[in-house]
Amino acid sequence: MTISDIKNILDCMVLCGEDRLGTDINTADGADMMSDVLAFASEHGVLLTGLVNSQVVRTAEMMDITCIIFVRGKTPDQSIIDLAGNCGIVIMKTREKMFSACGKLYEAGMRSGASGT
């Protein structure tokens, strides 16, 4: 599915990368610990997180993650949005909680990537 599909499913607000909503996404990971993301997330996927700081963007950058979604309506600072803009990462936020956000994407056919790749 595309980032645009995900946006509709989770009723997201796009904070950065509006021009890249057509990008295809095949995998998703949900985590508040960036340690876990660095150990298990797969590339070119979407990361759902309740953690809001600059290292979420840095982690996504290193992992080649395409899109970050902040759950529970959390809003990052402009500096975090700018950082993602420079890295070419799409940022969205949703009012959904982590569990329901992951559940809705799973229901729509989204899966985790092969872990540890």
Partner 1 sequence: MSAIELKYAIPGDDFTRAGEASSSIKMRLKQMGFDPCFIRRVAIAVYEGEINMVIHANGGEIVVNISPASTDITLTDDGPGIPDVELAMKAGFSTAPENVRNLGFGAGMGLPNMKKYTDEMDIQSEVGVGTTVRMKVYANAT
Q: Which residue is associated with the tokens 């070119």?
A: 44
56 interacts with partner 1 by CB under 8 A: yes
Q: How far is the CB of 89 from partner 1 (least distance, A)?
A: 12
72 interacts with partner 1 by CB under 8 A: no
Q: Which stretch binds partner 1 (CB under 8 A): 17-25, 54-62, 88-96, 100-108?
A: 54-62
24 interacts with partner 1 by CB under 8 A: no
What are the C-alpha distances in Å from 4 to residues 23, 53, 70, 78, 102? 8, 24, 16, 22, 16
Q: Which is nearer to partner 1, 22 or 116 (CB)?
A: 116
Q: Which stretch binds partner 1 (CB under 8 A): 17-25, 32-40, 90-98, 103-111?
A: 32-40
Q: How far is the CB of 53 from partner 1 (least distance, A)?
A: 6
Q: State which of residues 3, 15, 34, 67 lies at the interface with partner 1 (CB under 8 A).
A: 34
4 interacts with partner 1 by CB under 8 A: no
50: Cβ contacts below 8 Å, ≥ 6 apart:
32, 70, 71, 72, 74, 98
49: Cβ contacts below 8 Å, ≥ 6 apart:
30, 31, 32, 37, 56, 68, 69, 70, 71, 98
